Amino acid sequence: MASSTLICDTEAWKDLKDHLDDIKKTHLRDLMSDTGRCQSMMVEFDGMLLDYSRQRATLDTINKLYKLAEAASLKEKIHRMFNGERINSTENRSVLHVALRASRDAVIQSDGKNVVPDVWNVLDKIKEFSERVRSGAWVGATGKALKDVVAIGIGGSFLGPLFVHTALQTDPEAAKWAKGRQLRFLANVDPIDVARNITGLYPETTLVVVVSKTFTTAETMLNARTLREWISAALGPSAVAKHMVAVSTNLTLVEKFGIDPNNAFAFWDWVGGRYSVCSAVGVLPLSLQYGFSVVEKFLKGASSIDQHFYSAPFEKNIPVLLGLLSVWNVSFLGYPARAILPYSQALEKFAPHIQQACQLMESNGKGVSIDGVPLPFETGEIDFGEPGTNGQHSFYQLIHQGRVIPCDFIGIAKSQQPVYLKGEVVSNHDELMSNFFAQPDALAYGKVTFILSLLIFPGVD
Ligand SMILES: O=P(O)(O)OC[C@H]1O[C@H](O)[C@H](O)[C@@H](O)[C@@H]1O
């Protein structure tokens, strides 16, 4: 498809439009009674199971969506991204956040240069620095070890790291490494956020990490100046060198602000802010809190799904399937929203992260094509969500009895903190949860630790 051709002018799109009438006649009840269909709509990868059998779609729909992906040259586009081509056409940049979690020996080129060694130089520097801070080899201005960290940042320089921090807090191994330490996030320009974040902390034992890709974002810079003053007022201006470090692509402005460039951790303009959690943006604060070895496991997990996304055929490709289903729900079925419902408190900050990341609400959802042509169809979706069971006592009833909203339920087979009370229905125990989510003839659930199940409530009809 030529780049100026709109996807809605392709045969694949028109075919899906025609197919809508068939789908509108079907009821979820009938779709679910087709065992062959349901079994084909499960994909497993690396401990994750995607079950999309409850989507308002038949196998025919899915085949037509694959044709749409072909018409959109999706495979070529994925390859162009991994090859470092400048697919960010508005800024004329590569989009290479996958390089941030690539193994040390990988080769990923941007402008003819392998970027992986630069990535690992920064990761090594973070490892070394975080170990010095955690061990007390790096001390503050009064000679005391720094046990608390305030990370200042907003948008992509905040939501991803907050999400991962919240997810790790109750992981037994991560919690062990974080003992006696605190990590806090300051984002809002409202001084209440400053007050809340410094309450109970002392400048003497606190390290401030200023996180900003541009180092010009108004909220972040004001909060950075406020905490610089908090440190200077208590310990004198020279203490800033020991108590403030930065993460940025703009090292000139970091230095101008008064932070020693040796204590700055770089990333690159080929990392979109919303995808930056695997750069120093997330890796530095999280390593300070949990140690680099814990964070390295997170990077390995991200790399594993990158490889899957790059090489798995579309029928088994979880990110591609989720993307195609989203197009089907939004642009064909006309559902404007999607609820993200993780049954785990550890994923409490997942929905806010997804709202900004994954191009869902920050980049997509705008009214024009990549060439600026107004689109005659809806794109993007309104993502929102809360962990179950809290959401059940808040907004589920509208979804169940009022509006049709596609829901992504995320179940966890193996809890970070299992509790088992004999006979209690909502008890959260490894075995109990596995049995709860297991279905006859499904996959070997014993090894599945994370289950994704998608369901559309068809309203009250
Ligand atoms: O990291 P910074 O340069 O401070 O930018 C923080 C945020 O600013 C804006 O909201 C951008 O749209 C976001 O993508 C970015 O993450």
**Residue-wise pLDDT tens digits, 143-168:** 999 999 999 999 999 999 999 999 99
- Ligand 1: residue of 90, 214, 217 to mutate (most ligand atoms within 8 A of CB) is 217
* Position 224 confidence tier, pLDDT thresholds 50, 70, 90: very high
Do the domain assignments include residue 77?
Answer: no
Render pLDDT for 196-210 as a digit per residue (tens, 0 to 9).
999 999 999 999 999
Same domain, 375 and 272: no
Same domain, 321 and 417: yes
Three-state secondary structure call for residue 110 = strand
For the residues 320-341, what does the mean pLDDT come to?
95
**Percentage of the chain lying above the pLDDT 90 cut:** 79
Lowest mean pLDDT among 62-71, 313-322, 382-391: 382-391
Separation of CA 363 and ligand 1 centre (Å): 12
* Cβ count near 372 (within 10 Å): 8
Do the domain assignments include residue 456?
Answer: no
* Position 359 confidence tier, pLDDT thresholds 50, 70, 90: low
Domain count, the chain: 2
* DSSP structure class, residue 255: H
Lowest mean pLDDT among 26-40, 62-76, 95-109, 401-415: 401-415
Same domain, 158 and 297: yes
Separation of CA 163 and ligand 1 centre (Å): 16
Separation of CA 273 and ligand 1 centre (Å): 6
Same domain, 150 and 294: yes
Same domain, 284 and 377: no
154 CB within 6 A, ligand 1: yes
387 CB within 6 A, ligand 1: no
Same domain, 265 and 359: no
* Position 105 confidence tier, pLDDT thresholds 50, 70, 90: very high
Do the domain assignments include residue 88?
Answer: no
Q: What pLDDT does residue 446 have?
A: 31
353 CB within 6 A, ligand 1: no
Render pLDDT for 367-409 as a digit per residue (tens, 0 to 9).
888 888 999 998 888 999 999 889 999 999 898 888 899 999 9
Angle at 446 between CA 444 and CA 447, to 5 degrees: 85
Do the domain assignments include residue 458?
Answer: no
Same domain, 390 and 435: yes
| More confident call, 438 vs 194 | 194
Is the per-residue pLDDT at 225 higher than 90? yes
157 CB within 6 A, ligand 1: yes
Do the domain assignments include residue 81?
Answer: no
Do the domain assignments include residue 72?
Answer: no
Residues whose CB is less than 8 angstroms from the CB of residue 169 and which lie 6 or more positions away in sequence, other chains included: 175, 178, 346
Residue 284: Cβ-neighbour burial (10 angstroms; 0-12, 13-18, 19+): buried
* Position 2 confidence tier, pLDDT thresholds 50, 70, 90: very low
- Ligand 1: residue of 157, 249, 277 to mutate (most ligand atoms within 8 A of CB) is 157
* Cβ count near 352 (within 10 Å): 19
Q: What pLDDT does residue 249 have?
A: 93
pTM: 0.92
Domain hosting 387: range is: 7-45+314-445
For the residues 115-136, what does the mean pLDDT come to?
98
For the residues 216-231, what does the mean pLDDT come to?
98
Same domain, 322 and 216: no
Residue 371: Cβ-neighbour burial (10 angstroms; 0-12, 13-18, 19+): exposed
Alpha-carbon distance 171 to 152, whole Å? Answer: 24
* Mean pLDDT rounded to a whole number for the chain: 90
213 CB within 6 A, ligand 1: yes
Same domain, 351 and 278: no
Same domain, 262 and 335: no
Which residue owns the Cα nearest ligand 1 atom 11?
A: 155
Which residue owns the Cα nearest ligand 1 atom 10?
A: 155
Residues whose CB is less than 8 angstroms from the CB of residue 311 and which lie 6 or more positions away in sequence, other chains included: none
Same domain, 324 and 296: no
Alpha-carbon distance 423 to 40, whole Å? Answer: 34
Q: What is the dihedral of CA 78, 80, 82, 83, to 10 degrees?
A: 160
153 CA closest ligand 1 atom index: 4
**Percentage of the chain lying above the pLDDT 70 cut:** 90
* CATH number for the domain harbouring residue 189: 3.40.50.10490
Alpha-carbon distance 206 to 230, whole Å? Answer: 11
289 CB within 6 A, ligand 1: no
The position carrying tokens 């993460």 is: 247
* Position 352 confidence tier, pLDDT thresholds 50, 70, 90: very high
For the residues 457-461, what does the mean pLDDT come to?
29
Question: How far lies 459's CA from each of 19, 37, 53, 398, in Å?
Answer: 21, 22, 17, 9
**H/E segment holding residue 256:** helix 251-257
Q: What pLDDT does residue 4 have?
A: 64
Question: How far lies 1's CA from each of 6, 232, 296, 320, 377, in Å?
Answer: 9, 59, 40, 19, 18
Do the domain assignments include residue 86?
Answer: no
Do the domain assignments include residue 193?
Answer: yes
Contact 16, 377 (CB under 8 A): no
Separation of CA 182 and ligand 1 centre (Å): 25
Tell me the pairing of strands 148-152 and 206-211.
Answer: parallel
- Ligand 1: residue of 93, 159, 214 to mutate (most ligand atoms within 8 A of CB) is 214
Which residue owns the Cα nearest ligand 1 atom 7?
A: 155
Is the per-residue pLDDT at 461 higher than 60? no
Same domain, 111 and 143: yes
